[in-house]
Amino acid sequence: MFGPFRGTSPLSGGLLWKIPFRLSAPQKARQRKRLRAVDTVIAVVDNALRKQGNTLKEMERWKVEMPREEEMRPKDKYTVFDRKEKKYRKGIHKVPKWTRVSQRINPPGF
């Protein structure tokens, strides 16, 4: 019960999620590759629509609001705004579904 052979606390038992503090170099490379892939898809779809003489309001809005991968600062590529964090930023790898959701814009000044 007490001492070195006490039972395991319920809080320290079970599944432990270990998320590293910062992104590794290969994770950063894959993130840049994903951003460039999305930029390529947007460009291809926009060119195809332009050849047909059509435009999409959502496509134009994306091109105006969302920066391309080469226009983004490293801070914006690898971190996102979080009002609960100490410096209002947290690593993008701590966001659920961070590989599938585009997180390109943050509030001004952050």
In this prediction, residue 3 carries a pLDDT of: 66
pLDDT at 39: 95
Position 42 pLDDT exceeds 60? yes
Provide the 10 A C-beta neighbour count for residue 80: 21
Q: Is 107 helix (H, G, I), strand (E, B) or coil?
A: coil
pLDDT value, residue 61: 94
Specify the DSSP element, H or E, that contains 110: none
**Of the ranges 10-19, 21-30, 52-61, 67-76, which one carries the lowest mean pLDDT score?**
10-19
Half-sphere exposure of 36 (CA within 13 A, CB side): 7
| Threshold 0.85, pTM exceeds | no
DSSP sequence for 28-77: HHHHHHHHHHHHHHHHHHHHHHHHHT---HHHHHHHHHSPPGGGS-HHHH
User: Model confidence over 48-105: pLDDT tens digits?
Assistant: 999 999 999 999 999 999 999 999 999 999 999 999 999 999 999 999 888 888 888 8
